[in-house]
Chain A
Amino acid sequence: MGKIVGLTGDETAAEAMRQINPDVLAAYPITPQTEIVQNFSQFVANGVVSTEMIRVESEHSAMSACIGAAASGARAMTATSANGLALMWEICYIAASYRLPIVMPLVNRALSGPINIHCDHSDSMGARDSGWIQLYSENCQEIYDNLIQAIRIAEDKEVLLPVMVTLDGFIISHAMERVEILEDEKVTEFIGEYKNPYSLLDVDNPVTWGPLDLYDYYFEHKRQQIEAIEKAGEVIQRVGKEFKEISGRSYELMENYRLEGADLVIVAAGSTAGTVKAVVNQLREEGVKAGLLKIRAFRPFPVREVSQALKNAKAVAILDRSVSFGAEGGPIFLEIRSALFEEAKRVPVVNYIYGLGGRDIGIDEIKAVYKNLERIAQTKKIEKLVGYLGLRE
């Protein structure tokens, strides 16, 4: 039997990492990620893990150290937030293009400026084109489950890509919840061993990492990356099924919450999905056919699954916790609106930007969204394509 414990999101991530027991952890502290590495360093100090911990001078170095370690055949991890991710930006692209399966919890925090330490998704959404797989977590349990699955997804031979597992800063990272922890041996067995076929330390089979790659081959290497992240969709589903066998909890690319016969659907990612579920339950009791589509994998984006889930809705609202300045709507909205273009029947879709810099979102705001969806479903008219939730005029 595993155990049931009360842990914050950051403690949960550290606990998952203790069980993963990576060969190398290189990290630099940043709020609200700090407690992950702080807790993990305690495990290192107490000899509970055999991890080589590198205290680097910046996130740029953290990701660089992870790349060196992973290319040497080590299982490498780091963790960061917001500006930390921004500082490792350049190296994130390199990790993905070298096909190194580094796994990183990302505690979502607003990017400066003005400086802000609270949650929004501007950090991870900004890194959406870096070639990393992105899994969003709704609560502490999902952080734990996603991190363990992320190792398997990243290291799958058909994938070999880095994975970031996101958790909402403070809302989840510093909130204590009930978490089911598996036995250490079960996790060890589930994740298996990382074997890079081309280790830098394999002196009998020397290879060159990171050579110049110009107009004659760069494009082909990008095409390989496209193939890998497309394959990752199937691998995420397969690993989700296998994870159910050891945990009883199943995972897909996304979660359909009371979507059967739902006319009014909200799409959300991260902790807000939990609040939406509470509203859906209330509305269903009142006879309103409300539902939620929760995005788990944003990269790869499950285009077919999402349009399949939404095509029969009468009105859809997409909640985005980040802005794509100058675009007509947030990143998730743009993705879904594009996915629905292939459907014969036109589904009315609106976008709400919310929660920037940690602005709270509650039951009332979400109810107002469903109210608006009800109006759109009745009148078939969209008054405002992109709105702002919880913003003062």
Chain B
Amino acid sequence: MKEKGWKEIPLGGLILEAGNAEKYATGGWRTYRPVRDEKKCNDCLLCWVYCPDSSIIVEEAKIKGFDYEHCKGCGICSAQCPKDAIEMVEETKFVLQEKGEQ
């Protein structure tokens, strides 16, 4: 999202458009990333119920994955999962992987 100048934004920090938090990527705040073990998961959808950031992607009552643009890595999904199917993995691991390091 292109950031606007001070003359273009509403006064007083008001948000005039409902639901625009979706446009604000907060995934960068994450330290731990939820990773799902598809074999353990039984699609009970408790994680979807509990997620405070609506970041569990569900299609036709099946979990498809996480919305990493908005997931802040709070770990609630992992904590409540009755099948222990969600592991919280440190983000640095993925960064190192992308760089081709161990």
> Residues of A with Cβ closer than 8 Å to B?
97-100, 160, 198, 206-211, 213, 216-218, 220-221, 223-224, 227
Given known A217-B9, A220-B9, A221-B9, contact A198–B3 (CB-CB < 8 A): no
Cβ contacts B1-40/A at 8 Å (1 or 0 each): 0011110011111111010000000000000000000000
A98 to B13, Cβ gap below 8 A? yes
Q: Which residues of B contact A207 (CB under 8 A)?
A: 14-16
Could you tell me the distance between the alpha carbons of A160 and B13 in the complex, rounded to whole angstroms? 13
| In the complex with contacts A198-B16, A206-B18, A217-B3 CB distance below 8 A | yes
Could you tell me how many residues of chain B have their Cβ less than 8 Å away from some Cβ of chain A? 13
| Residues of B contacting A213 in the complex (Cβ-Cβ under 8 angstroms) | 13
Could you show 29 A-B contacts with beta carbons less than 8 Å apart? A97-B13, A98-B12, A99-B11, A160-B12, A198-B10, A198-B14, A198-B16, A207-B14, A207-B15, A207-B16, A208-B18, A209-B12, A209-B14, A210-B13, A211-B13, A211-B15, A213-B13, A216-B3, A217-B3, A220-B4, A220-B5, A221-B6, A221-B9, A221-B13, A223-B6, A224-B6, A224-B11, A224-B12, A227-B6
Q: Please give the residue numbers on chain B whose beta carbons come within 8 Å of chain A beta carbons, in ascending order.
A: 3-6, 9-16, 18
- Secondary structure class of chain B's binding surface, majority of residues: loop
Which residue on chain B has the smallest CB distance to residue A160?
A: B11
Chain B residues in 8 Å Cβ range of A100:
12
Partner of A221, one of B3, B12, B15, B16: B12
**CB-defined contacts of A227 to chain B, threshold 8 Å:** 6
Kindly list chain B residues whose C-beta atoms are within 8 Å of the C-beta of A97. 12-13
Q: How far is the CA of A211 from the CA of B20 in the complex (A)?
A: 12
CB distance from B29 to the nearest CB of A (A): 10
B4, B9, B14, B15: most-surrounded residue (chain A CB, <10 A): B14
Known interface pairs A100-B12, A198-B14; 13 further A-B residue pairs with C-beta atoms within 8 A, sorted by A's residue number = A98-B13, A198-B10, A206-B18, A207-B14, A207-B16, A211-B13, A213-B13, A217-B13, A218-B13, A220-B4, A220-B5, A221-B6, A221-B9
Nearest chain B residue, comparing its CB with the CB of A228: B11
